[in-house]
Amino acid sequence: MSRRDPAVASATLDRPSDERVELDVSGMTCGACAARVERVLGKQPGVSDALVNLATGRVLVEVAAGAPGGERLAEVVRQAGFEAVLRADEIAERDQALQERERDQARHENDLLRRLAVAAPLAVATIVLTYAAPHDPTSQWIVAALYVPVQFWCGLPFLRSAWSRLRERTTNMDTLVALGTLGTFVYSTVILLTADATYEHGVPVGELSTARLNYDMGAFVIAALLFTRWCRSEE
C-alpha cells in the first residue's frame, strides 16, 4: 500500500459527488512506483484522489463527473511506464470466460448424457442376450451388432483421450479403458468369426465354440464409466 492513510483515502473516495475508476496496474515493484502512479494520476484534470495498493496492483481513482474516462487514465499510467487495464474490462473478460466455461461444461454434460442414454439400454440388452443364449449363433451376432455402437460411439471419449495421450507418449485412466474395451471387442469378434458351430446332442463342441463372448463386459464398463462421469459433471 502507498504511504497515504487508507482511512483518509477511503473517506475521500466515499463522497457521492465523484465517480470511481478501478485500474489493474502491473510493473510496480516498490513504494516509489506506487507514488509515481499516484502522482501522474493526480495531475489529470478531474482526478481528486488516487489510492494505490502495491500488493495487489489495484488502483482506485476518484474522478469528478464528466472528467476523462477510465481508458484515458489507464493510458496515462501506461505512458508512465507501467501496464494498466480497466478493472471493469478485466471483470467483463473474466465473466465472459466463465460463461464460456459454463457453456462448455453444459455441452460436455449433454454429450455424456446422450452417450449414456444409448449405452445403458444396449449394455442391458447385451448382458441379457449373452447370458440367456450364450451359444446361440443368432444371439451372438445380435450381441456383436449391439456392442459396435457402444464401443465406437458411446466409448468415443475414452478412445479420443487414449489416442491423444498416445501421441504425447503418456497414459491415463482412459488408456486402460480403451485397451480393455478394444481388447474385449477384438477377442470376442475373433471368437465369433472362428467359432466351430458343431454340436453333439445339443451341446457345442470345440475349444472356440465353447468360449463365451465378452461383449457384455465391455458394454457394462463403458456404460458404468459414462454414468460415473456424468454424475461427477453434475456436482
What is the per-residue DSSP string for 53-92?
ETTTTEEEEEEETTS--HHHHHHHHHHTT-EEEEHHHHHH
| Contact of 167 with 116, CB cutoff 8 Å | no
pLDDT at 226: 94
pLDDT at 98: 72
- For residue 180, pLDDT beyond 90: yes
- For residue 13, pLDDT beyond 50: no
Higher pLDDT, 76 or 233: 76
The model's pTM? 0.57
Cα angle, residue 123 at apex, residues 118 and 125 outer, rounded to 5°: 105
CA–CA dist 189, 42 (Å, integer): 78
pLDDT at 22: 83
User: Which of 222, 229, 226 is closest to 126 using CA atoms?
Assistant: 222
pLDDT in tens, 46-80: 888 888 888 888 888 888 876 667 788 888 888 88
pLDDT at 196: 60
pLDDT at 114: 95
Average pLDDT, the chain: 80
- For residue 14, pLDDT beyond 60: no
- For residue 84, pLDDT beyond 70: yes
| Contact of 24 with 64, CB cutoff 8 Å | no
- In the chain, % helix, strand, coil (3-state, to 5) comes to 65, 15, 25
